[in-house]
Amino acid sequence: MSGSVRADADTRPSGGRDAGRAGGEPRLGVVTAAPDLSPGTLPLRPELVGLEPYGAPQLDVPVLLNVNENPYAPSEQVVADVAAAVAEATRGLNRYPDRDFVGLRADLAAYLEVESGVHRGPEQMWAANGSNEIMLHVLQAFGGPGRTALSFAPTYSMYPEYARDTSTAWVVGRRAEDFTLDPEHARATIAAHAPSVVLLASPNNPTGTALPLDTVRAVLDAAARVPGGCVVVVDEAYGEFRRAGTPSALELLADHPHLAVSRTMSKAFGLAGARVGYLSASRELVDALRVVRLPYHLSAVTQAVARAALRHAPELMAQVGSLRAERDALVTWLRTRGLQAADSDANFVLFGRFDDRQAVWQGLLDRGVLVRVTGPEGWLRVSVGTPAETAAFQDALVEVTGR
């Protein structure tokens, strides 16, 4: 492992050098250079010129705590059931999958009823290849030229990219110093900009902050007053990790047809590699997403994997409790070292502040621990790992900071 890797490696392009090779397909096993295209050769959209792909560093180090993955692999029983489901799906791969994946939507609705006590029908559910595609569907349906999407920073760094990719204007309000959202500031910002989409991460990434339902209600009330309408999406990608007594925005769906609540199977379920995100909303909102989705966008294999995993929800959710406990202990430990650590309802902790966070990030990397440079200046984010991974992080941080 080299100490020369920089934190901005998360924006470097990876692979793809064989694509577009002049004269036909590249030879197997041969790495070819990208073609030297003079300016103007490709009609790239002006707003994309000079940009590089989003992505956190993918480095081969012993302790990976930078992308909020669940550190626990599926059990052998889950592996066996998923494998059997995929084998069955494979027997029918000569046919297109169920375009509306009704079975998966019913299973997701049943899971949410157990997890949050909120009843939803299959027609009020949607799914896609990760919550990233869910958000893109929302912006495709409700954003676009002449429209605005709004959020409150600091928040998930992909939101402005969804807006960019759909030619939607992007506006941000501000969170408070403690990363909470002031309802009156939210109301005023929505009134000033009249967005067609408001994106609220709760728990928020990268801060871990969950929104009280009264704050969400204030946003919904302001959105309902926007001329032409406004959709509010509460992104609960880390919802299962919220602390006891913290409600889900799912509880507000019945009374707010312009609300959508998104979740993912990447985090709590430990299925980051399966790429399954989902959303619950009114039937009318879901039907709008069905218009913009690509045909057969969710493969038969993906549907099979998700449904098999959902059959093991109680087992997989049992890991969530231990991760919550690890998170809370980590927050306490960081504070005893004289560092700041944001209260978290997610499976990560934002900590700082450092005069040179880049140097701290590099020092941890030099010791085999990868965390994330993100959030306000001076802060770093660490995912909650196994007890052994957390101990490795703590030991490395003490060495780097001397405290």
Q: What is the pLDDT of residue 19?
A: 31
What pLDDT, on a 0 to 100 scale, did the predictor assign at position 317? 86
Look up the CATH number of domain 63-74+317-401: 3.90.1150.10
pLDDT value of residue 233 = 98
In the chain, which residues have pLDDT < 70? 1-40
Domains 63-74+317-401 and 76-313 share a fold: no
Residue 235 Cα distances to 199, 248, 261, 277, angstroms: 7, 10, 6, 11
pLDDT for 39? 55
Tens-digit pLDDT profile for residues 68-101: 999 999 999 999 999 999 999 999 999 999 999 9
pLDDT at 373: 97
* Per-residue pLDDT at 259: 98
C-alpha distance from residue 24 to each of 21, 27, 36, 41, 396 (Å):
6, 9, 16, 19, 49
Is 3.40.50.970 the CATH classification of the domain at 76-313? no
263/107 Cα distance (integer angstroms): 14
Question: Which pLDDT does position 10 carry in this prediction?
Answer: 39
Q: What is the pTM of this model?
A: 0.89
> What is the residue type of 192?
A
Domain borders along the chain are 63-74+317-401, 76-313
